A and B are shown apart, each in its own frame.
Chain A
């Protein structure tokens, strides 16, 4: 367990491994959101031009 630098900015008492997990999951989910947002608009364009 490593300690968190500030109680205001991150939950205290979480391990370095959890921290890495948080970073990985956040990026994965964010990329999914962006892919759906732009992907859906591109799909609409393709459908309209068929």
Chain B
């Protein structure tokens, strides 16, 4: 067999810049990936801090820890920080780290653009956060930014619009880089249907980003011109339509949900076969299912707006198209389960997070089906049931997949093993508390508790207390992750090139830690086959 990685061929290139220049002028995909992950971690804890404050206020009826306007700002900023600051950058960080290593490329195709897309983020994040300190406070109209409510927030309005523009530009540049890298830098012999699932899901995600981020940018640009330049896109008094904003926003907003979750499908499709010691069941079906979900995400936006009012035919169309998404999603859940069937299973931390994802994401999927039914949605809309639904999809869904990905690839990144026992503690505390946190919110919603309120009627107190306790435990237990990573990098035991015996793919053909420049010479067909069939 060929030597998997010819490190001596370019030993002179192993030197890397030192000090601050290494990070500020970074063009290396691993350095940029690391910075993305650190940024996402910081935003995750800031957004988590806002969530803790929200749960403290809702601990019991009449708490009054915060003024209702501040509460609404905390709620809005929690959403913006988690979506645009934590989950999306975490996926871009993982894409940066893993895509070149998984396709046999030396780096991302556009390294300087990569540097720019990252360094936009800290400025956009600071701009967003600093809106707390301007007259009128941070925006408080929810992440959906509906006019005319959104335009009533003084100085913070243009700041948030500009921050959204910057975050959008960063995402678009990142997506362009991912598409260009995957289309042009795959190792010889790696056809599209030989790519790892994480690469596939990211390619589809990148197309979603390219298709919908300009629409969000367009929508907020029109908001801005309505406010400052006298246009009337969404101003009813001037002949515009606020409902049109809702249509445009959700035409972006629904694919955005899939931007957050499709890479998670990719990660789970890497982890489950590795710890089942079997190839993924139905690889091609998984690819087509991902593409189908992405396509369907463009024709379901109306389900966010059933109660706004629309013709019955439109309601029927959006209801049926939404329910159709259950088919490719069901294919995925079936295939993950079939991969585990009769596998030689072991439950290391990445697999624990993947299995929890499988169960808990499916709960979020089921409540999504309930919300897709027009008559039921009239009952659930605007209640805590919706909050429970999308948090099940995003926390034990997207966030657990990110945790699983970190625990899966950390030995490859750092060259060291982490403390398995502590990571399992992290998993069990998270998995139990996340259910204590979000499951009671289904009951609260069904009982009629509205979302986005700073106080509530006393009959909702019991389940809110339970939910808040779950929230505090979940929040505190997340501190274990940076501690585990820090201890691993500092003093973990050396990791082998393939620390998980069932792991497949080119990244495991590289030594651990992966060299500064990944595949300086493209891997041969033999290495490719060895990586895929190990």
Contacts and interface: CB of A to CB of B under 8 A. Distances in A.
A36 B184 contact: no
Nearest to A32: B210
Contacts of A12: 10, 13, 106-107, 517, 520
B27 interface: yes
Interface string A7-43: 1111111100010011001100110111011101100
Contacts of A38: 218
B240 interface: yes
Contacts of A11: 100, 105-109, 111, 185
B211 A36 contact: yes
B452 to A, nearest CB: 27
Contact of B218 (A26, A37, A48): A37
B180 A29 contact: yes
B248 A13 contact: no
A13 B180 contact: no
B114 to A, nearest CB: 10
B27 A8 contact: yes
A37 B213 CA distance: 8
Contacts of A10: 111
A27 to B, nearest CB: 10
Chain B interface helix/strand/loop/mixed: helix
Contacts of B232: 48
B244 to A, nearest CB: 7
A23 to B, nearest CB: 9
A10 to B, nearest CB: 6
Given A13-B521, A44-B233, A25 B27 contact: no
Contacts of B111: 8-11
Nearest to A8: B27
Interface string B202-240: 000000001101110110011000000000110000011
Contacts of A37: 214-215, 217-218
A29 B207 CA distance: 9
A36 B105 CA distance: 30
B120 interface: no
Nearest to B516: A7
A47 B244 contact: yes
Interface in B1-34: 10, 13, 17, 25, 27
B214 A26 contact: no
B106 A40 contact: no
B331 interface: no
A29 B182 CA distance: 13
Contact of A7 (B176, B184, B211, B517): B517
B176 A33 contact: yes
Contacts of B217: 37
B183 A48 contact: no
- The interface centre, meaning the residue of B213, B218, B233 with most chain A CB atoms within 10 A of its CB, is B218
Nearest to A41: B218
Nearest to B211: A36
B296 interface: no
Given A8-B27, A13-B106, A48-B244, A29 B218 contact: no
Given A8-B27, A30-B176, A48 B241 contact: yes
B112 interface: yes
B109 A48 contact: no
B316 interface: no
B276 to A, nearest CB: 34
Interface string B226-264: 000000110000011100100010000000000000000
B179 interface: yes
Contacts of B175: 29
Contacts of A33: 172, 176, 210, 213-214
B74 to A, nearest CB: 31
B184 A22 contact: yes
B345 interface: no
Nearest to A48: B240
Nearest to A25: B180
Contact of A40 (B172, B215, B240, B520): B215
B184 A21 contact: yes
A25 B244 contact: no
A10 B27 CA distance: 8
Nearest to A18: B184
Interface of A: 7-14, 18, 21-22, 25-26, 29-30, 32-34, 36-38, 40-41, 44-45, 47-48
9 contacts: A8-B111, A11-B100, A29-B210, A33-B210, A33-B213, A37-B215, A40-B218, A44-B248, A48-B239
Given A26-B176, A26-B180, 10 more contacts: A22-B184, A25-B179, A29-B179, A32-B210, A34-B214, A36-B214, A36-B215, A38-B218, A41-B218, A44-B222
